[in-house]
Amino acid sequence: MSTTENEPAANFIRHIILDDIANGKNGGKVQTRFPPEPNGYLHVGHAKSICLNFGIAKEFNGSCNLRFDDTNPEKESDEYAKSIEQDIKWLGFEWHKEIHHASDYFEQLYGYAVELIEAGLAFVDELNAEQMREYRGTLTEPGKNSPYRDRAIAENLDLFTRMRAGEFPDSKYVLRAKIDMSSPNINMRDPIIYRIKRAHHIRTGDKWCIYPMYDFTHCISDALEGITHSLCTLEFEDHRPLYDWVLDNISLECHPQQIEFSRLALAYTITSKRKLTTLVSEKFVDGWDDPRMSTLSGMRRRGYPAASLRHFCTAVGISKKNHVTDMGLLEQYVRDELNVIAPRGMAVLRPLKVVIENYPEDKIEQLEAPIHPQNEAMGTRKVPFSREIYIDQEDFMEEANNKFKRLVLDKEVRLRNAYVIHCHQVIKDEQGNMTELRCTYDNQTLGKNPEGRKVKGVIHWVSASESVAAEVRVYDRLFNTPNPAAAEDFRTCINPNSLSLISSARVEPSLAEAKPEQCFQFEREGYFVADRYQHSPEKPVFNMTVGLRDTWNS
């Protein structure tokens, strides 16, 4: 795991750009853009595109625009736009100057459509959707020309003007590029470039009742912004001839180069905004930023450091080959980052009371423990020790062989950062459940081994009176198959046990004092983050970020 942001991974896009710079193309300038549609929250796949676009711009002293591709008014919202801005900043990137919107260019786009009509390269069609499908042909058969294809230029101009003026109902007419109905590439078979749609737009309101299609909008927006390299995912490869055709046939000088790379797909997760929307709207999760979601806001709330996502994206690399990345890889970057930065603390998730009989009743000792055992500079914390403490139920057995390096009846164990204790009695309720352990401690064992004997096991604990009750949410994978997107209905692959709510955990005082979004290693348990919204020192709430070891392949 040695990749860092300072050593950009070699990839074919960097090679193209290095060549372009060497050849003086675009005056040596590099201008990229990240063009999300504000119709959902960003997910981990978008992180790859963000890291690539912003990373390339930074590396070559260029800049990267943020452009909202807002041409589908019904699905878009301001909430989505705001969340996208926040997520990009959180990931650690800054867009160039003001935010752009495809809708900023609606007037210009209209003008370029008129240019195409005037050049005899676009026509107003009135086939209905079904007829249009029939005329389109298939992958193996060519399409047929629409009977309206040869309308006179003047008539096309008149109809297009009246489409804009709102004279016709939705879907009555469309504007189509006049390219080639027999092209082997279906995208080139007279694609629609404008449609009539009466929908309120988040930025232009009701000004427009016709909206340009993505393929027409995207290339022109790129060119208007002086983008040099338009990086997009592989599914747009077949759209590139259209991208180039539009720019070759209008009066814009700039002609960005579209380059495609493979999408990020992560095992056991969904990277489709449409499906993520279903998870939210059908309440399979608690909103877009539920820590089980593969959204950036979900990963943030889960406690993934932004740097670990950037490192992961670098490690995944950029190629033309689609493949599925193992979730374990992402988690390894999360662990690597947190291992270095996360303060340590003790939390007992399933408390079992321990009474230390030879410890004075009202005494409370403030023991000192390192905040990070490998980094002295992080200092120490105070851990209160008292006669009654809690240990985890899983750390005690009445009988066990030597492999069980925790507390056993009639044996000893070390309490982490504290003393060695010996258990001599188990107290049970009427049903036979253990309710309490009676122990003694050896007061000569603080920070040193007892004389004449070895104590191998170390367990964590908290003081009963000085610890704070906390809610801890432990997560399992959200889907129980590696490729839920391939299922007929991905909802059938949802793991019903992806969330375990532990409402009676106990945490040491230093953990209760966490700031929202602060991450810790709960010693021997894993990494946990103080919930961004619900945590408070009085009522601590922690989300599990990741365990100490990879469990995806076990």
Q: Which residues bind ligand ATP (CB under 6 A)?
A: 35-37, 45-46, 48-49, 69, 232-233, 263-264, 271-273
Determine the Cα–Cα distance for residues 40 and 130; give it in Å rounded to an integer.
29
Residue number with CB closer to ligand ATP (75 or 353): 75
Partner from ligand ATP, Mg ion, none binding residue 156, C-beta < 5-8 Å depending on class: none
465, amino acid identity: S
**Look-up of token digits 């019904």:** 74
Nearest distance in Å: CB 273, Mg ion: 8
Query: Quick one: which segment of 20-28, 33-41, 244-252, 406-414 binds Mg ion (CB under 5 A)?
Result: 33-41
H-helix segments, 205-291: 214-224, 240-248, 273-281
Q: How many residues does the chain have?
A: 554
Rank residues 269 and 308 by Cβ distance to ligand ATP and give the closer one. Answer: 269
Q: Which residues contact 410 (CB under 8 A, 6 or more apart)?
A: 422, 423, 424
In sequence order, which residues have a C-beta less than 8 Å from that of residue 437 and are 6 or more positions away? 352, 353, 354, 355, 391, 396, 407, 423, 425, 426, 427
Q: Indicate which of ligand ATP, Mg ion, none lies near residue 271 (CB less than 5 to 8 Å, by partner kind).
A: ligand ATP
Which of 36, 291 has the CB closer to Mg ion? 36
Catalytic: 37?
yes
Whole-number minimum distance, CB 69 to ligand ATP, in Å?
Answer: 6
Give me the residue whose beta carbon is nearest to ligand ATP.
45
Whether 273 is a known active-site residue: answer yes
Q: Please give the structure tokens belonging to residue 379.
A: 């200092």
Identify what 273 binds: Mg ion, ligand ATP, none; CB under 5 to 8 Å per kind.
ligand ATP
CA dihedral for 68, 72, 78, 80, sign (positive or negative): negative
- Long-range own/partner contacts, residues 13-20 (CB < 8 A, 24 or more apart): 13/52, 13/56, 13/229, 13/231, 13/259, 13/261, 13/318, 14/56, 14/59, 16/229, 16/257, 16/259, 17/56, 17/60, 17/229, 20/228, 20/229, 20/257
CB-side exposure of 77: number of CA atoms within 13 Å? Answer: 6
Structure-block tokens of residue 287: 């909103």
Q: Residue 46 Cβ, how far from ligand ATP at the closest point, in Å?
A: 5
User: DSSP of 426-474, one letter per residue?
Assistant: EEE-TTS-EEEEEEEEETT-TTSPPTT-----EE-EEETTTSEEEEEEE
Q: Interior CA angle at 456 toward 449 and 368, to 5°?
A: 50
Give CA–CA dist 482/289, Å, rounded.
21
Residue 36 binds which entry of Mg ion, ligand ATP, none, with Cβ cut-offs from 5 to 8 Å by kind?
Answer: ligand ATP
Q: Which of Mg ion, ligand ATP, none binds 264 (CB below 5-8 Å, type-dependent)?
A: ligand ATP
**Residue 9 C-beta: closest distance to ligand ATP, Å:** 15
Among the options 240, 273, 414, 506, which is catalytic?
273
* Piece of the chain touching Mg ion by CB under 5 A; list 36-44, 94-102, 150-158, 388-396: 36-44
CB of 13 to ligand ATP, least distance (A): 13
Assigned token pair, 493: 């692959």
* HSE-CB of 444 using CA atoms within 13 angstroms: 5
Rank residues 40 and 509 by Cβ distance to Mg ion and give the closer one.
Answer: 40
Instruction: Enumerate the β-bridge partners of residue 233.
Output: 261
Q: Using CA atoms, how far apart are residues 430 and 399, in angstroms rounded to an integer?
A: 20
DSSP for residue 277: H
Q: In the bound complex, what is the minimum distance in angstroms from residue 330's beta carbon to ligand ATP? A: 13
φ, ψ for residue 89, nearest 5 deg: -65, -40
As measured in angstroms, the least distance from the Cβ of 338 to Mg ion is: 32
Taking CB positions, which residue lies at the least distance from Mg ion? 37
Choose between 217 and 332: whose C-beta lies nearer to Mg ion. Answer: 217
Q: Please check whether residue 14 is in contact with residue 8, taking contact to mean a CB–CB distance below 8 angstroms.
A: yes
Q: From the list Mg ion, ligand ATP, none, which binds 232 (C-beta under 5 to 8 Å, kind-based)?
A: ligand ATP
Catalytic residue among 14, 172, 197, 263: 263
Closer residue to ligand ATP, CB minimum distance, 318 or 529: 318
Nearer to Mg ion, 37 or 392 (CB): 37
Q: Which is nearer to Mg ion, 84 or 347 (CB)?
A: 84
The SS3 assignment for 101 reads strand
Min dist. Cβ of residue 10 to ligand ATP (A): 19
- 89-108 residues near Mg ion, rule: CB under 5 A: none
Residues that bind Mg ion (CB under 5 A): 37
Catalytic residue positions, numbered = 37, 263, 273
